[in-house]
Every structure is written in C-alpha cells, then in structure tokens.
Amino acid sequence: MAFIDYYKILEINKSATPAEIKKAYRKLARKHHPDLNPNDKEAEKKFKEINEANEVLSNPENRKKYDQYGENWQHSEQYEKANQQQQRQRESQQGGYQDFSGGGDFSDFFESMFGGRTSGGRSGRSAQYKGQDFNAELHLDLKDVYTTHKRTLTINGKNIRLSIPAGVENGQQIKIPGHGGDGVSGGPKGDLFITFSIDNHSNFKRDKSNLYSTVNLDLYKALLGGEITVDTFDGKVKLKVIPGTQNGTKVKLKGKGFPVYKKEGAFGDLYIDYQIDIPTNLTEKEKELITELSKLRTL
C-alpha cells in the first residue's frame, strides 16, 4: 500500500493546530463536494481523500499514531503488544531483547504480522482486525430537522440512504454500523459516525425541544388589549392580548415548539416575549392627548 500523506491532502503542515485542521477540512470539503461537482470523478476521489485525512488528523489519538507509524497506524496497538511479547520471550530465553521502539522502519514487522510473510521458515498467519471508523459532518438548516426525512449522502464515493429523525440537535452524532473502512484479513468493516451541524436562520431561538421568540407589541394594543397574529415555526396563530400587558411579559404556547427527538408526535413549547414599541415622532395632537391622559392618571 502506498503511503498517504494526510497533511499534504489537507494542505497543512504537520504542526497544524486542531482549529487549522478543521478550517482546512471544511474549505476543501466544500470545494470538492460531489453535490457541487456532479459527475466529476476526480472531485469525488479528492473528496474521499479529504474525508479520510480529516478522520485521522482531527482525532488527537489517531493523529499521534499516524505521526509515529504512518500508513500502519491502525495496527499500532497490535504492534506494541507483539513487541512486548517478543521482548519478554527474548529476555527469558536469551537474556536480552530486540528493541522495535527506536523509530526505525516498521514495514518489515507489519508485513510479517499482517501481510502473510513467512518467518523462520513457517507460514505467517494473518490476524483479523476491524476496519477504520469513518467520521463525517452533515450540515443542515433548522427547518430541515423539523420533520423526519430521508437524504442520500456520498461518503468515500459510496451513496448512503439515511433517515434523519425530526428533532436531531446540533452537534449530535449517530452511528451507522458497517459503513467504515474495510477490515484487515477478512475482519469486520468499521463504522460511520455522522455529526450534525445545524444552522439556524430562523427568528426562533432553540433550546432542545423548546423555542423562544420576541414579538413587538404596539403601545396601544398593550394598553387596551386585543388580538394579534404571531409566527410559530410551522405557521401563524392568533393570540389575545390582555389589557395592561407589561413590557417583557412572557406567554407560553404549549406544543408549538420543536419536535422531541425520536418521540413521534411530541413537541416542546414556544415561549413568546412581548417587547412594547414606544411611539416616536409624535404629532402635536398626539402629544396633546397623551398630556391629557397623564393628567387624568395623576388625579
């Protein structure tokens, strides 16, 4: 297997910080995403490489193994375990040991351990290991996760039909078994982990399944009461305003919030915060009437 330079793929230095890795990945993933480059095999291949590089370098533990073992980083634990066993055997049998930890070339060891080489005149036996787990980030808008829907994702050149439940939250991660890298020597495939990145372009603030919004209320409606129409996430509703409503009054609309994750038909609540608009640029007549009103209030 040819060595893959993940740093070169992401166009960063080996000293790159996690933030620089994330920034480079997002920039290149957007540029080469299959949805933006339909029927472009080269872009599809590049997108696959970018995802693979990010999966390794964005994980501090995997990055450390990759920096030390290169293309064989996934088998570093097996290498270290086997190295320890060999050391103990040599110490007990010969009073000494062979050191594999000097930073040399590990290719011979990995080839004999995982590639089926012969060793000492006997046939090597390949061990089975689970394939690499993949990580991907799915960008959605808040309106996209208001209802359960299906979406086709392209991960490492393969199309995956995914059902996205209503109410999924920003930063939430789901696991799709068996959609990771191929196993070693017939071992099981790795898994795919998808992290949701949800942008909110609405006028509502979301907190889990509850929504919050601010409604401007004119002074006269606040004083005298009446009926107003307000926006909810899925439409408009009419509300009665109580006479004498104060600035900052909060109203709860039960069941008008966001869907509860994986609870069919369950919704949170919508909380409305009234902000009273004070009239400006009053006419002389308005000033006269307000003055009269203020006099009445002082009697």
pLDDT tens digit sequence for 124-160: 455 778 888 888 889 999 999 999 999 988 877 788 8
Residue 56's nearest CA partner among 83, 21, 107, 89 is 21
CA pseudo-torsion sign 263, 265, 271, 277? positive
- Coil, helix or strand at residue 251: strand
Phi-psi region at 82: left, alpha or beta (left = phi > 0; alpha = psi -120 to 50): alpha
Asked if the model's pLDDT at residue 95 lies above 50, the reply is no
Beta strand pairing call for 122-123 and 118-119: antiparallel
Q: Contacts from 72-78 at CB under 8 Å and sequence distance 24+?
A: 72/106, 72/107, 72/110, 72/114, 74/129, 74/132, 74/184, 75/110, 75/113, 75/114, 75/129, 75/184, 78/113, 78/114, 78/127, 78/129
Number of Cβ atoms within 10 Å of the Cβ of 253:
16
Residue 292 makes CB contacts below 8 A (sequence gap 6+) with none
Rg for the chain, CA atoms, rounded: 31
Query: Across the chain, how many H-helices and E-strands are there?
Result: 8, 13
Band (83; pLDDT cuts 50, 70, 90): low
Which pair of tokens denotes residue 125?
């036996």
Which pair of tokens denotes residue 46?
């590049």
Asked if the model's pLDDT at residue 75 lies above 80, the reply is no
List domains and CATH numbers for the chain: 1-76 (1.10.287.110), 134-199 (2.60.260.20), 205-298 (2.60.260.20)
Asked if the model's pLDDT at residue 52 lies above 50, the reply is yes
- For residue 37, the 8-state DSSP code is S
The predicted-structure confidence for 117-126, as pLDDT tens digits, reads as follows: 444 444 445 5
Which pair of tokens denotes residue 110?
């990995």
Rounded to whole angstroms, how far apart are CA atoms 249 and 223? 13
Global pTM exceeds 0.75: no
Asked if the model's pLDDT at residue 227 lies above 90, the reply is yes
Residue 228's nearest CA partner among 206, 218, 80 is 218
Give yes or no for a contact between 71 and 3, defined as CB atoms under 8 angstroms apart.
yes
Asked if the model's pLDDT at residue 164 lies above 90, the reply is yes
